[in-house]
Structure formats: C-alpha cells, structure tokens
Amino acid sequence: MLSAKRLGIAGGILWGAMMFIMTLANIWFGYGSMWLELMADVYPGYEVSYIGSIIGLIYGFIDGFVGLFLIGWLYNKVGE
C-alpha cells in the first residue's frame, strides 16, 4: 500500500522548492518568465520577487501536497 501522506509531503517539498528556485532564477537570470507569469495567474498574491519566492514556496508545497496526496489516495482505492 502506498502512503498517500508521504507521497504528498514529497511532492509538496519538490513543487515548493521548484517554485522558490524558479522565482530566484528569474530574478537573477531572467529564466522562465512566461511560465512564472502563468503561475502568478494561478496563485493569487504570487509575483516574481524575493517575497514572491516565499509565497510561491508555500503555494507550491500546498499544491504539490494536495495533488499527490489525492493521487496516492486514489491509487490505494483503485487497488483495493
């Protein structure tokens, strides 16, 4: 049986870290502007800034956790 909670935590950490790193990469190098504009449309209050990198980290963790938790839960339900 797959642990939906652990899968959610792992996904939350990865997605939150990716949002944080991508935001900083955009500030420093201009990388990923169009993708981050899309994320700003999806996550209210998020913007490309140093504070926005923290907001993206939080949103990313929540989004990754919920999404992968639901995938793990559904996987376990289908496998019963």
pLDDT of amino acid 26: 97
Computed over its alpha carbons, how large is the radius of gyration of the chain?
14
Q: Is the Cβ–Cβ distance between 26 and 32 less than 8 Å? A: yes
Measure Cα distances from 1 to 8, 44, 63 in Å.
14, 35, 23
Per-residue pLDDT of the chain (80 residues; tens, 9 = 90+): 899 999 999 999 999 999 999 999 999 999 999 999 999 999 999 999 999 999 999 999 999 999 999 999 999 999 77
Total domains in the chain come to 1
Q: CA angle, corner 66, sides to 62 and 9, nearest 5?
A: 70
pLDDT of amino acid 13: 98
pLDDT of amino acid 80: 76
Element (H, E) at 46: none
Domain limits at 22?
4-78
Q: Is the Cβ–Cβ distance between 46 and 62 less than 8 Å? A: no
